[in-house]
A and B are shown apart, each in its own frame.
Chain A
């Protein structure tokens, strides 16, 4: 795959000679790709009105006069002191209840949320499998494939080379000529996964992408995740479907209220999680 090369080069800074050397020494399977060091994420939520805040202009004016700032702003401490090391060839499942900080952790690894303290060190640019945000449902699948690929930083030549593969993998057939708003939720999810996984990622973060879609598509997408693992990348997978995690991952991290409750072998962690 010659076309993958320029994308892998995409980095925030050109590497210094020293870093380059350190990386070439350690690109083999088993060396670290992502290091999360005592990570804390606190984010602000706007518009979380309290009971007495009636949300009309008069109360807003009163608040200004009393010089009280905006009470609608709340701080949420979503990730609390998480540390782990992920390595080349790892597929790491992240499990936990709703609101346990799974998605926040993924965003922080992708470098899309700044840490309040601690740090995330990465090799290359981790990418969130989140191309959906760039797609427009009024447009045809065909246009969305091009748009999504460009949004991920592919060139026209790369898009042409990958186009048929994306359509085949998504299995949407002639629907590619119809607007995405006419797709069933399963078809939409399949096309999104097909677009997002068309690019070669060093570190891939998948957040609930496999929740929809039928059994057959789930099998195919698991196979693709395996392929990515084998090409010595690292895959993070958030899913509520524990079977998917157990089949796909070689390691599972259990998050509970923003902290790591358990980290290790999938079968062990999942059975402990099921008992809790």
Chain B
């Protein structure tokens, strides 16, 4: 038995000649798939802030729930990372020359870069790893990369605790410059969210991106002056290559690392290029990243 359209409406007393589309219009029904306007989308996202926070915390809790030391790993992981990098670059490769307090210099670089790296890689996977969630519930999809960013922020707070401990133990004083640290972190967080939203859309549709991303991230790590001081390196370059310095100063990761080192270790308010780059990238990444992600909102998890 096949099913004629009008028979359904007929059985319920509707007009036999009325099309289903007209019936829908008459009763104010609408098609299910549509992308909300940008301001409305921001509102929806704000309404889901509790989910974002809870999801981030839950992921952090469940990450270490199988280990005996449990949540202690949130502190142990950055501590062990710091130890390994110090052993490699401080002791074995002996990069210390010319850089004051190389231990703190190196570990600041590693932690700050890791924050950006992990947020962006997490964001790139946030859609493809949560397809079943996307296919089951309605919520603004930007909540997912955002939750990954919050999760990394929570992890960073533990790393900062370790870092401040190391800075004090290596003999640096607590200064008023430390008051600017939250501002530097806020700028970095803003950049991370923007970049992560951008990569979330890229990763959702270009499935091969997650294979490629580790290599991109490692190249970025080496170019960001985590292990060496950028001004020292470019000082040796011939005059004709002076532009290399400008290019390196445009790197957002280099700027956030420079800011943190100057504020935390070297007690001076960071060069102007670092602030300019840091602010520019934070605003640019957030605006472009959010807009780019929102443009594909209705297509995530489909097809």
Contact = CB atoms under 8 A, between A and B. Distances in A.
Interface of A: 10, 12-15, 18-23, 25-26, 30-38, 43-44, 83-85, 87, 107, 109-115, 119-123, 125-128, 130-134, 136, 138-139, 143, 146-147, 150-153, 155-156, 179, 259-263
Given A30-B12, A111-B138, A35 B23 contact: yes
Nearest to B30: A121
Contacts of B302: 112-114
Interface in B1-50: 1-3, 5, 8-9, 12, 14, 19-21, 23-37, 40, 47-48, 50
Contact of A125 (B31, B48, B138): B138
Contacts of A115: 33
Given A125-B138, A128-B137, A139-B62, A114 B33 contact: yes
A38 B51 contact: no
10 contacts: A21-B28, A83-B3, A110-B32, A112-B135, A112-B138, A123-B28, A127-B137, A133-B137, A150-B48, A152-B137
Contacts, number: 169
B301 interface: yes
A193 to B, nearest CB: 14
Given A37-B24, A130-B137, A143-B61, A122 B12 contact: no
Nearest to A120: B32
B5 A112 contact: no
Given A22-B27, A153-B139, A263 B3 contact: yes
A138 B28 contact: no
A146 B54 contact: yes
Given A132-B136, A151-B133, A44 B65 contact: no
A131 B133 CA distance: 8
B133 A120 contact: no
Contact of A20 (B9, B28, B35): B28
B55 interface: yes
B137 A134 contact: yes
A128 B137 CA distance: 7
Nearest to A15: B28
A36 B137 CA distance: 20
Given A119-B21, A133-B132, A151 B28 contact: no
**7 nearest A-B pairs in the assembled complex, by CB-CB distance:** A111-B32, A22-B28, A130-B136, A121-B24, A121-B29, A150-B51, A37-B20
A120 B61 CA distance: 40
B303 interface: yes
B29 A123 contact: yes
